[in-house]
Amino acid sequence: MIYKDIRDFPEGFLWGASTSAYQVEGAYNEDGRGLSIQDVIDTHGIADFHVASDHYHRMEEDVDLMGELGLKAYRFSFSWPRISPDGRSINEKGLEFYDRLIEKLTEYHIEPIATLYHFDLPLSLAEKRGWSNKETIDAYVLYARTLFERYKGKIRYWLTINEQNVMINHANAMNGNKGLSKKELYQQNHHMFLAAAKATILCHELRAGMIGPAPNLIAVYPETCAPEDVLAAENWDEIRNGLYLEMAVHGRYSPFVLSYLKEKDAMFDCTKEELEIMKQGTCDFIGVNYYSTATVRRSKGDVSDLMARNGDQQTMVGEIGVYGGSENPYLETSGYGWKIDPVGLRITLRRIYERFHLPLLITENGLGAKDVLEKDGSIHDPYRIEYLKRHIEQLRLVLQDGVDLMGYCPWSFIDLVSTHQGYEKRYGFVYVNRDDQDLKDLARYRKDSFYWYQKLIADNGKEQ
């Protein structure tokens, strides 16, 4: 659709930025915090999560920078092991950090958007089989209740679980899930769905705000218009995206995915009561983490379906008998192998909105790159500005298409530990002076993209 006139962004659009606790906070063993699964992995020479960007100690300075940037919203995650070190008890000292963070955000009129769980499962729960064990569901609900009760009236937007679909579909790229069988993964998936549904019901009962999931969503394209390729694209789309949205929005399993799981001997155990709970715990909006799109072809039923490389959360995988991974010759690729597809963002958002009719909030989108700190303290990152600009252009069009889009929270507000490349791959508007091996002084520097985004927010998206 080519429009004659493009409307401005609506007043109140949430121009934001995102982070997650274990990737920025550091202070991994302070003030009663327990360990998470992320704290004990061998990072093979890249930065670990013990200090990260030292946000725990520099929170005031960081929020001052958010104020200067003009953010209208800040998406962060609570550190589960900081609040509940052993998955049962509650650590008052940990909560006090977030009291101060939320207070300070409020001073700047920055809307807090809080994720309950972003990859940092408490180690004590992991040692008891983590999400395979139903006790983890109870631990999550207790933790969620603590936060809802404490921050009711202060936090209006909650996200249940970050990228549950990545933890299941790209398990080998995730700390904690490597090597699990498909059956066990889908059992964990079921338990996470149940935990999210219970937290959602609780959030509504306590009138603590609006709540939704934050999956990593991609439009899936067929390699050609041959119906077999289109069908293969639908297979992967439903397994990777549809299942998670169908559950969050309607509290039910997607029929095709159930057939797929039976075919793959990966059907999970569940009870009627659990399915009933899921129907009641449906979300109010959908968080969307968007980085790229995928292209697939029909399955040939043999190993040629598999893309022959190790991957991360955006890598095409392929599955024998279901779909084959393919390439998209029309798209550029980032320095880290991720397809750059701004129009794909419009397609992704439209598909979700037309199927589910709920408000959407972009909870992640951004470009990981090697930034250079110049001698004068400047960081020139025109590639990031270009990336964000092209994606924001599509948001304007998506709004015109009629999608109810609440806001845009790019990844990330500040440099943080990238899940696979540490500090070599940076995303922030704010540079953190450290690298993987050397903590240096952890000082903050504004990148060119900081000033660019500052102006864009001040003009409510007009000036780019």
Structure tokens at 460: 């409510």
Q: Which is nearer to ligand BG6, 173 or 239 (CB)?
A: 173
Tell me the C-alpha distance between 78 and 118, whole Å.
8
Q: Which is nearer to ligand BG6, 91 or 363 (CB)?
A: 363
Q: Which stretch binds ligand BG6 (CB under 6 A): 262-270, 271-279, 377-385, 412-420?
A: 412-420
Angle between helices 448-458 and 382-400 (to 10 degrees): 30
Contacts of 47 (CB under 8 A, 6+ apart): 417, 422, 423, 434, 435, 436
Structure tokens at 98: 């977030």
> What is the 3 state secondary structure string of 242-278?
HHHHHHHHHCCCCHHHHHHHHHCCCCCCCCHHHHHHH
Q: Is 425 in the site for ligand BG6 (CB under 6 A)?
A: yes
Q: Give least dist CB 289 to ligand BG6, A.
A: 6
Q: In residues, how long is the chain?
A: 464
Tell me the C-alpha distance between 20 and 18, whole Å.
7
Contacts of 84 (CB under 8 A, 6+ apart): 34, 90, 91, 122, 139, 142, 143, 146
Q: Which is nearer to ligand BG6, 244 or 411 (CB)?
A: 411
Whether residue 386 contacts residue 450, with contact meaning beta carbons closer than 8 Å, is answered with: no
Which residues, 222 to 281, sit near ligand BG6 by CB under 6 A? none
Which 8-state DSSP code applies to residue 411? B
φ, ψ for residue 364, nearest 5 deg: -160, 145
Q: Give least dist CB 216 to ligand BG6, A.
A: 5
Q: Which is nearer to ligand BG6, 91 or 162 (CB)?
A: 162
Q: How many residues belong to the site for ligand BG6 (CB under 6 A)?
A: 16
Q: Which is nearer to ligand BG6, 84 or 175 (CB)?
A: 175
Which residues, 150 to 189, sit near ligand BG6 by CB under 6 A? 162-163, 166
* Structural element, H or E, at residue 73: strand 73-77
Q: Is 79 in the site for ligand BG6 (CB under 6 A)?
A: no
Q: Give least dist CB 6 to ligand BG6, A.
A: 29
β-sheet bridge partners, residue 211: 158
Clarify whether 364 is annotated catalytic: yes
Q: Which is nearer to ligand BG6, 46 or 307 (CB)?
A: 46
**Residue of the chain from 134, 420, 448, 454 that contacts ligand BG6 (CB under 6 A):** 420
| Amino acid identity, position 206 | L
Q: Which stretch binds ligand BG6 (CB under 6 A): 188-196, 238-246, 418-426, 432-440?
A: 418-426
Tell me the C-alpha distance between 146 and 124, whole Å.
19
Q: Is 313 in the site for ligand BG6 (CB under 6 A)?
A: yes
Q: Is 19 in the site for ligand BG6 (CB under 6 A)?
A: no
How many helices (H) and strands (E) would you count in the chain?
15, 15
Which residues, 372 to 401, sit near ligand BG6 by CB under 6 A? none
Which 8-state DSSP code applies to residue 432? E
Q: Is 20 in the site for ligand BG6 (CB under 6 A)?
A: yes
- Residue of 25, 111, 163, 238 marked active site: 163
* Residue linked to tokens 């010759």: 329
- The reply to whether omega before 412 is within 30° of 0 (cis) is yes
- Number of Cβ within 10 Å of residue 341's Cβ equals 26
Which residues, 314 to 373, sit near ligand BG6 by CB under 6 A? 364, 368
Q: Which stretch binds ligand BG6 (CB under 6 A): 25-33, 248-256, 276-284, 417-425?
A: 417-425
**Residue of the chain from 184, 274, 284, 312 that contacts ligand BG6 (CB under 6 A):** 312
Tell me the C-alpha distance between 306 and 16, whole Å.
37
Q: Is 289 in the site for ligand BG6 (CB under 6 A)?
A: yes
Q: Is 25 in the site for ligand BG6 (CB under 6 A)?
A: no
Beta-carbon-side half-sphere exposure of residue 70 (alpha carbons within 13 Å): 15
Clarify whether 246 is annotated catalytic: no
Beta-carbon-side half-sphere exposure of residue 325 (alpha carbons within 13 Å): 15
| Rg (the chain; Cα; Å) | 21
Q: Give least dist CB 65 to ligand BG6, A.
A: 19
Q: Give least dist CB 410 to ligand BG6, A.
A: 11
Q: Which stretch binds ligand BG6 (CB under 6 A): 152-160, 175-183, 419-427, 438-446?
A: 419-427
Q: Is the dihedral of CA 35, 38, 42, 44 positive or negative?
A: negative
Q: Is 295 in the site for ligand BG6 (CB under 6 A)?
A: no
Q: Give least dist CB 254 to ligand BG6, A.
A: 22
Q: Which is nearer to ligand BG6, 278 or 360 (CB)?
A: 360
Q: Give least dist CB 277 to ligand BG6, A.
A: 26
Q: Which stretch binds ligand BG6 (CB under 6 A): 98-106, 377-385, 413-421, 444-452?
A: 413-421
- DSSP character string of 368-410: -B-----TTS----HHHHHHHHHHHHHHHHHHHTT--EEEE--
- Residue of 111, 223, 246, 364 marked active site: 364
Q: Which is nearer to ligand BG6, 44 or 272 (CB)?
A: 44
Q: Which is nearer to ligand BG6, 337 or 402 (CB)?
A: 337
Site residues for ligand BG6 per CB under 6 A: 20, 23, 162-163, 166, 216, 289, 312-313, 364, 368, 411, 418-420, 425
The residues annotated with a catalytic role in the active site are: 163, 364
